[in-house]
Amino acid sequence: MTREELADLIFPDIKHDIKYYEEKYPERNLKEGAIVTRYAPSPTGFTHIGNILSAFTGYSFAKNTEGVFLLRIEDTDTKRTVENGINNIIRDLKDFDITFTEGAIDEDRENGNYGPYVQSKRKEIYHAFIKELIKDGKAYPCFLSEEEVNEIRERQEKHKDRIGIYGKYAKYRDLTPDEAAIKIKNNEPYIIRFKSPGSFYKKVKCDDLVRGTLEFPENDLDIPIMKKDGLPTYHFAHLVDDHLMHTTHIIRSDEWLSSLPIHIQLFQVLGYKPPKYAHISPLLKNDNGVVRKLSKRKDPECAVSFYHEMGIPTEAVKLYLATIINSNFEEWYLQNKDKKISDFEFSFKKVSKSGALFDLEKLGNISRTYFSRLTKEEIYEQTKTYLEEFDQEFLKVFTKNPDYTKAILNIEREQKKPRKDIGKYSDVKKLIWYMFDEEFNPVYEDKDIDLELLTDYLENYYDENDDKNTWFNKIAEFGLKYNYTSVKEYKENPEKYKGHVGDICEMLRFVITSLTMTPDLYEIMHLLGKERLIKRLDNFKNK
């Protein structure tokens, strides 16, 4: 029996050969330098914030270069695949506005000319490639049972030998086609292994766009390429898919870095040009001084739902991720107030080699800057959406008089240095509650308040139509009546006066809001209006 006949025995019903597929999926017609990359998740039911980082990195590079960003579903590990997994992935990415030029669009549908984009639907294609490899003596059926492979591993561990099927462990590597055919006809279970031409004692150089040129021992493992269920392994599927989809850049997690020599070898053995690889380091966390990987089990911030529930805008999370991808992003963002993330030119060279700390406090800072750049309308609308889901009670108050709420949100906004106190939608209530009578039921701390002075001021001097200057000058002038002077004067002769203008403002602020710190007092008083101010003073007196 020839190898060709053996290949026919293993794959008797293959309709097409590699050439057919290469013609079906021709070179893409893109402009020079365009990056074709993909996000290739497994639909296991959980999107880790690190997945969003990988996806967003690919998205950004493709977008920067007017390239292609495709969604490929890697579901060949059927045991880990969950129901609705594809929909969940797409929903999570959409939340972050990460969209695709082609690929899966839901559980059943997809768009693009290079599909199917779901690996379990590509079985025939993989088989065509594997068949050819068997014909060429570059792959072979391996009859080692799982138990035998485990025994080999145990033996290797015991003898501190390298783990895997290579050299003397590759028992079926040199079976003749006849010997293999007898076993197959006897229904002995088998998988297909790649027949590695490598030697562990030779070194190979592999390029990584993030880490530069790395040296590895050449791969000599006969890795499985097709499992018992007829589906390919990740190693092989990525080779076929990225070849046929004309991927130029593989951006993936660095857990795959050690497989790089295998992957480069696979491309070489098939005679294909390998894509460029960029391995992204995991997100880290400083856990009481110990830096470790962000863990799905321990850290709630791993789940993308965390940001949604906390009310942190996905745009702010993206700004932070952009900073993680390229550390010079942040400075650029701070300097370019009117630019969007997509205006920034990302570079592989500036991607961190060692993994970046994912720090919620830092995210909070970036988010506050993000909020500070929103208009009152934007904050109003976005907060409203958040409240609709998470705080129906406050939603009623918040939306009762939209113009009033927007005016509150606008305090200290339209100025050179806008307020930076909102970091998440859930902060909004905590920052503006006292502006709503429905919410204003304060417990006042003990404090010395000159009630006679405040009553006189609010009833006889305060005019809600005054502009800010007039308002302030009036307080200064009024203060003299009660022996309050300017701050400067007071500092020079404190024994001569009861206090200074600032003290009056502080008392006003306290009675009106029950707080000692708020944004601009003039604006607050102006928005509340004289009548409500007097009411609040009366309430204060009664307490």
- Residues forming the site for ligand GLU (CB under 6 A): 40-42, 74, 238, 250, 252-253, 256
Q: How far, rounded to the nearest angstrom, does the alpha carbon of residue 364 sit from its chain's CA centroid?
A: 15
Is the CB of 238 or the CB of 243 nearer to ligand GLU? Answer: 238
Is the CB of 162 or the CB of 296 nearer to ligand GLU? Answer: 296
Is the CB of 355 or the CB of 418 nearer to ligand GLU? Answer: 355
Is the CB of 144 or the CB of 266 nearer to ligand GLU? Answer: 266
Burial label for 495, CB within 10 Å (0-12, 13-18, 19+), is exposed
Is the CB of 253 or the CB of 268 nearer to ligand GLU? Answer: 253
In whole angstroms, how close is the CB of 250 to ligand GLU at the nearest point? 6
In whole angstroms, how close is the CB of 225 to ligand GLU at the nearest point? 15
Crossing angle of helices 123-135 and 3-10, in 10° steps, is 160
CA–CA distance, 315 with 363 (Å, rounded to integer): 11
Is the CB of 195 or the CB of 211 nearer to ligand GLU? Answer: 211
Is the CB of 131 or the CB of 252 nearer to ligand GLU? Answer: 252
Q: How many CB atoms lie within 10 A of CB 288?
A: 5
In whole angstroms, how close is the CB of 208 to ligand GLU at the nearest point? 14
In whole angstroms, how close is the CB of 306 to ligand GLU at the nearest point? 20
Tell me the torsion sign for CA atoms 283, 265, 22, 209.
positive
Is the CB of 42 or the CB of 281 nearer to ligand GLU? Answer: 42
In whole angstroms, how close is the CB of 421 to ligand GLU at the nearest point? 39
CA–CA distance, 513 with 507 (Å, rounded to integer): 10
In whole angstroms, how close is the CB of 299 to ligand GLU at the nearest point? 19
In whole angstroms, how close is the CB of 227 to ligand GLU at the nearest point? 15
Tokens of 479: 């203060």
Q: Contact, 139 vs 225, CB < 8 A? A: yes
Is the CB of 257 or the CB of 310 nearer to ligand GLU? Answer: 257
Q: Contact, 173 vs 195, CB < 8 A? A: yes
Quickly list DSSP for 425-447.
Answer: HHHHHHHHGGGSTTT----PPP-
In what side-by-side order are the strands of the sheet with 139-142?
A: 139-142, 191-194, 224-226
Is the CB of 227 or the CB of 498 nearer to ligand GLU? Answer: 227
Is the CB of 107 or the CB of 179 nearer to ligand GLU? Answer: 107
Reduce the DSSP state of residue 162 to 3 states and report it: coil
Q: Contact, 435 vs 527, CB < 8 A? A: yes
In whole angstroms, how close is the CB of 509 to ligand GLU at the nearest point? 54
Tokens of 124: 């025939």
Burial label for 303, CB within 10 Å (0-12, 13-18, 19+), is middle
Quickly list DSSP for 177-207.
Answer: HHHHHHHHHTT---EEEE-----TTSEEEEE
**For the chain, what's the residue count?**
543
In whole angstroms, how close is the CB of 385 to ligand GLU at the nearest point? 31
In whole angstroms, how close is the CB of 41 to ligand GLU at the nearest point? 5
CA–CA distance, 532 with 543 (Å, rounded to integer): 17
Tokens of 397: 């108050």
Q: What's the distance, Cα to Cα, between the start and end of the chain in Å? A: 100
Phi, psi (5° rounding) for residue 161?
-95, 165
Distances (CA, A) of 230 to 95, 109, 243: 35, 23, 20
In whole angstroms, how close is the CB of 81 to ligand GLU at the nearest point? 11
